[in-house]
Copies of this chain bind each other. A is one copy, B any other.
């Protein structure tokens, strides 16, 4: 078991990098939700490869084909492909498929014998034996984030209709840092602007420096990691459950599903360790007749439950393991050490393309939590003792 997520919305992701197709089934979208498919495509394009100098050259449109669950607006018209315009959910599971058009059948037999350092090759070999589909990383490929982004794009639109907005930006590439979000007064425009540009940062000047760093890593046949900051505003207080199904738990379960993520922190996160309680605690205030906190070290979550303040987390992304420099590895068949040179063009930095993935993951987690809480709230309001 592996590739399913969620309780109220169920996401099941399938496919390998070089299988005939990859895709996602989403079970649990309410009937009557209308989706702007152009916006879905635009969102997915942010993740797509081959767009600019700093990403891999593999060019695929990665546009999803809708097999089920979404209909043209009239409901029963003949054209159900829905490649453009708006589609409306009918209540049945949505399946979207992306065909893999770029399936060059190059020789992967060497790869099978000599695992690439810091890729999943070796544990996948131990786990699945020679049956593992090693081509392009198989089911472990970053390509599997394309259906994740499709699912996230739908959830994002459903949340936006309820007043919940989310965004992300590159917080750091190497040691070059972007301007962080204001955790107390997070402006919707700021939240959405990074994603609208070519290189998702708040401060374009810092973005330039980051791109220079990525370019120099590429030139050295090396790669570089970074940090992504992600946020949501407009959340009601009360989403999330105690203990194992809290907001942090649910977000963590999906965010660690994005390849290369090695760390996750909410609010102050690891910086909380060096703060006193009197510094870290967020005092309450009344503002415009609402209860708010004056600071937001908690990142909008207490006891696993949203407070109504902006939800903020940061994820660490490791440097791309595929580098041009020669590396030490082993031959599994001969059980002896050997050098490895990885050929082909690879992203010297996966962080920019991981930004929309992070938003997608957050959108799916929040939509699942939203449904759960909406559910409860309606009951509590109704059933006074």
A246 to B68, CA, bound (A): 20
Q: Does A53 contact B (CB under 8 A)?
A: no
Q: Does A102 contact B (CB under 8 A)?
A: no
Q: Are B76 and A302 in contact (CB under 8 A)?
A: no
Q: Are A307 and B123 in contact (CB under 8 A)?
A: yes
Interface size in chain A (residues, C-beta < 8 A): 178
Interface residues of chain A: helix, strand, loop or mixed (majority): mixed
Q: Does A169 contact B (CB under 8 A)?
A: no
Would you mind naming 21 contact pairs between A and B with Cβ atoms under 8 Å apart? Answer: A1-B28, A1-B372, A2-B246, A4-B12, A4-B244, A15-B68, A25-B25, A31-B376, A32-B128, A32-B385, A76-B134, A90-B133, A117-B284, A118-B302, A122-B302, A127-B376, A139-B243, A225-B280, A244-B254, A253-B253, A291-B330
How many copies of the shown chain assemble into the complex?
Answer: 4
B contact residues around A175 at 8 Å (CB): 274
Q: Are A378 and B380 in contact (CB under 8 A)?
A: no
State the Cβ distance, A187 to closest chain B Cβ, in Å. Answer: 24
State the Cβ distance, A165 to closest chain B Cβ, in Å. Answer: 18
Q: Are B281 and A272 in contact (CB under 8 A)?
A: no
Q: Are B272 and A318 in contact (CB under 8 A)?
A: yes
Q: Are B68 and A319 in contact (CB under 8 A)?
A: no
State the Cβ distance, A224 to closest chain B Cβ, in Å. Answer: 6
State the Cβ distance, A341 to closest chain B Cβ, in Å. Answer: 13
Within 8 A of B (CB), among A115-151: 115, 117-120, 122-124, 126-135, 138-140, 144
Question: 9 new A-B pairs (CB below 8 Å) besides A4-B10, A217-B276?
Answer: A1-B28, A20-B65, A32-B129, A75-B130, A76-B133, A77-B105, A92-B139, A217-B277, A243-B257
Within 8 A of B (CB), among A244-271: 244-246, 248-250, 252-254, 256-257, 259, 261-271
